[in-house]
Amino acid sequence: MKFFDCSFEGGSRIVIMIGPLAFKFARVREYWRSRMWYFSGVWGNNHERRRYKKYGQKLPLAPTYITFGLVNVQHRGTPVTQEELENEQPWGVLDSKESRFYDLGRASSYCRIAGKIVQCDYGRGNLEAFLKKHFEN
């Protein structure tokens, strides 16, 4: 793992990795054909912070240490391949329809920390429904 790295893959965040930390910056976006600008990753950042607080102890989520809205500070992991994700199934066996609906099947949303695959991109709006359905009683 390089000490310094960055990723421009994400649609809503740019990620800068320094040592053991990942800094996730909200991207600037323009509303469709308007002159309004917004930071598309702020929602995702806030969701991740809140979800980590709520579920981080029991679920496979990369630790989100702090959020400043525009920036999230996460524990940095190493990339995983699609094959590793399919073999290890961090969420257990998922129905393929459900996996698609909640966007849980892309290796780019996961990383490896301390030997285990955890999700690092868990800011998506509808993931809340998945977490509630399976992990709340």
Ligand X SMILES: Nc1ncnc2c1ncn2[C@@H]1O[C@H](COP(=O)(O)OP(=O)(O)OP(=O)(O)O)[C@@H](O)[C@H]1O
Q: Does the footprint of ligand X cover residue 49 (CB under 6 A)?
A: no
Q: Are strands 64-67 and 116-119 parallel, antiparallel or unpaired?
A: unpaired
What radius of gyration do the chain's Cα atoms show? 15
Q: Write out the two tokens for 134.
A: 């399976």
Query: How far is 39 from 90, CA to CA, in rounded Å?
Result: 30
DSSP bridge partners of 109: none
Which of residues 15, 85, 104, 127 is near ligand X by CB under 6 A?
Answer: 15
Interacting stretch for Mg ion, rule CB under 5 A, among 33-41, 46-54, 67-75, 106-114?
106-114
Asked if residues 123 and 41 have their Cβ atoms less than 8 Å apart, the reply is: yes
Q: Is 54 or 124 the residue whose CB approaches Mg ion more closely?
A: 124
Which of residues 60, 85, 104, 121 is near ligand X by CB under 6 A?
Answer: 121
Q: Is 62 or 117 the residue whose CB approaches ligand X more closely?
A: 62
Q: Does the footprint of Mg ion cover residue 48 (CB under 5 A)?
A: no
Which of residues 10, 60, 90, 123 is near Mg ion by CB under 5 A?
Answer: 10
What 8-state DSSP symbol labels residue 27?
Answer: P
Residue 53's identity, in one-letter code, is K
- Contact residues toward ligand X (CB under 6 A) are 7, 9-13, 15, 17, 22, 24, 41, 44, 62, 74-77, 79, 108-109, 111, 120-121, 123
